[in-house]
Structure formats: C-alpha cells, structure tokens
C-alpha cells in the first residue's frame, strides 16, 4: 500500500507541475485543493491505464533526479500554454499605448498583478476561445498521454525541447505583432490627421481633440478587427497544443 502511494505521488509530480504552470489551471482563481484533487484523479487514471516504473530507492539520488525530470516535463507542458497566453497581453500594451490608455490598468484576477485593460480584454477573449474549442480538454489529454509518449526515466533532450520552446515563443510574439499592427496603423493615421488639423488651426486644443479621437478609433478598430482577432487566437491556441505535444515526443 505504501509503495502504491509513493508511486501515485511520483506520477502527480508531472501533472502538478503542468497544472501550476498552465495559464488557466494555475491561476489564483483555482484553489490549490482543486489542483491537488485533479492531479490525484489523473494520477490514479494513469496508474490504472499503463504501468509506471518508479526508481528503486526513495531517498537515493536517481530518485531525486527522476522527480526533477518529471517536474521539468510538466512545467514545459504548462509553460508552452503560458507563452501563448502572453501574446494578447503584449498586443494589448501596444494598442493601449497608441490609444493613450497606457495608464488604464486594473488588477488581473488570474495573477494579482497590474495589467492594461486592453490586454486583459484580449486575454479574456483568448481564454474563452481556448475553452470553446476544447483546448483545455485536449491539453489535459496530452498531459495524460505524455506518460505513454514520454514515460518516466526516458532520456530528455534539453537542447531540442529548448529550441522548440524558443521557436514557439517567437511565433507567439509574431502573433502579438499581427494582432496589434493593423490597429496601431489606424491609430497612427488618426494621430497624423490630428497633427495636420492642429497645424492648420493652432487655436484648437490638441489634447482635447486627439485623445478622444484615438480612443474612439481604437475601440472601433477593435470591433472591426474582431474576426481577425478570433482567427489569430484560434490559430495560436491550436499551435500551443501542437507545440506542447512535440515537447513530449521521444
């Protein structure tokens, strides 16, 4: 019985690390008890689904190395999703700066840190789209299947996995630029028009005219670009699942 309990705890290390690093399951809104119960339930399912071999002695150095390897694998699975969910925050900061709303910040309920209102809105959009396409279920399935694809004790090539993560980070950054660029160009055009008007009529108050125009143009651009944002977010969510799967390929 004690051996089975230690084996369950060993399996829960990878699952727990993945849940902590993931953007949805690892937020402050999800209690720690929920993550523990979910990790235990998935661990019991894995132990009944496939045989998992645990290192021999509990307090030996190979056991600690195996535990560290399991934690790194789980953290990698969650960190890939974290990279995807950072893209709308980056895009939101760029858009908010062009709209003159860089100071419009609020407390992010998921992390407890201050973040821009536009970035939070885009992050909520990505979260809802990710849940709507069943991305959370696909990711949990990937975490479970990772024990079959990459069983405990298998050789972990850090260089290859690090390159995959770096490649996906560049892809997430490119997505953030693709989201922010059209709206930023519209805001730049509005600022150019405002500058021309202020030069033509110096008596006009530039700040009283430019700031409302930038805010209205930014909001209108966000509404018009909603289909583009949805397409970008769906592609980003699917790419995150694919990259997480490649990270645990043998």
**Phi–psi pair at 187, nearest 5 degrees:** -65, -35
Find the mean pLDDT for residues 232-249: 86
Q: Is residue 43 part of a domain?
A: no
Lowest model confidence (mean pLDDT) among 19-33, 81-95, 207-221 = 207-221
Position 2 scores a pLDDT of 67
Position 28 scores a pLDDT of 79
In angstroms, the CA 153 to CA 33 distance is 28
Higher pLDDT, 94 or 158: 94
Q: Is residue 45 part of a domain?
A: no
The answer, yes or no, to whether residue 61 has pLDDT greater than 80, is no
The answer, yes or no, to whether residue 97 has pLDDT greater than 70, is yes
Q: Is residue 187 part of a domain?
A: yes
Supply the DSSP string of 157-209, one letter for each residue.
-HHHHHHHHHHHHHHHHHHHHHHHHHHHHHHHHHHHHHHHHHHH-TTS-HHHH
Find the mean pLDDT for residues 34-44: 89
Quickly state the pLDDT bin for 108 (edges 50, 70, 90). low
Q: Is residue 37 part of a domain?
A: no
Q: Domain containing 178: what range?
A: 72-247
Position 99 scores a pLDDT of 79
Q: Is residue 155 part of a domain?
A: yes
Domain tally, the chain: 1
Find the mean pLDDT for residues 128-135: 89
Quickly state the pLDDT bin for 18 (edges 50, 70, 90). very high
Q: Is residue 217 part of a domain?
A: yes
What would the two tokens of residue 56 be? 């021999």
Per the CB < 8 A criterion, the answer to whether 248 and 77 are in contact is yes
Give the percent of the chain with pLDDT over 90: 4
The answer, yes or no, to whether residue 112 has pLDDT greater than 70, is no
What would the two tokens of residue 37 be? 């119960």
If you average pLDDT over every residue of the chain, what do you get?
83
What would the two tokens of residue 161 be? 């996995």
Q: Is residue 108 part of a domain?
A: yes
Helix spans in 50-157 (H): 61-99, 117-132, 135-149
Q: Is residue 34 part of a domain?
A: no
């Amino acid at each position: 019985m004690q051996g089975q309990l230690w084996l369950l705890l060993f399996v829960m290390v990878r699952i727990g690390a993945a849940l902590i690093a993931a953007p949805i399951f690892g937020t402050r809104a999800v209690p720690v008890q929920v993550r523990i119960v979910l990790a235990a339930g998935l661990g019991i399912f894995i132990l009944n689904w496939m045989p998992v071999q645990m290192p021999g002695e509990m307090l030996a150095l190979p056991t600690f190395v195996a535990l560290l390897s399991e934690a790194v694998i789980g953290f990698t699975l969650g960190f890939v999703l974290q990279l995807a969910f950072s893209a709308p925050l980056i895009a939101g900061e760029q858009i908010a700066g062009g709209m003159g709303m860089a100071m419009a910040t609020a407390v992010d309920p998921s992390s407890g840190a201050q973040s821009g209102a536009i970035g939070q809105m885009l992050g909520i959009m990505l979260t809802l789209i990710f849940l709507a396409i069943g991305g959370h279920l696909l990711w949990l399935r990937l975490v479970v299947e990772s024990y079959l694809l990459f069983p405990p004790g298998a050789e972990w090539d850090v260089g290859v996995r690090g390159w995959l993560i770096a490649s996906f980070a560049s892809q997430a950054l490119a997505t953030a630029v693709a989201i922010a660029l059209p709206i930023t160009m519209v805001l730049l055009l509005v600022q150019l028009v405002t500058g021309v008007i202020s030069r033509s009529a110096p008596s006009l108050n530039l700040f009283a005219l430019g700031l409302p125009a930038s805010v209205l143009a930014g909001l209108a651009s966000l509404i018009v670009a909603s289909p583009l944002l949805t397409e970008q977010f769906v592609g980003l969510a699917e790419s995150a699942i694919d990259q997480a799967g490649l990270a645990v390929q043998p």
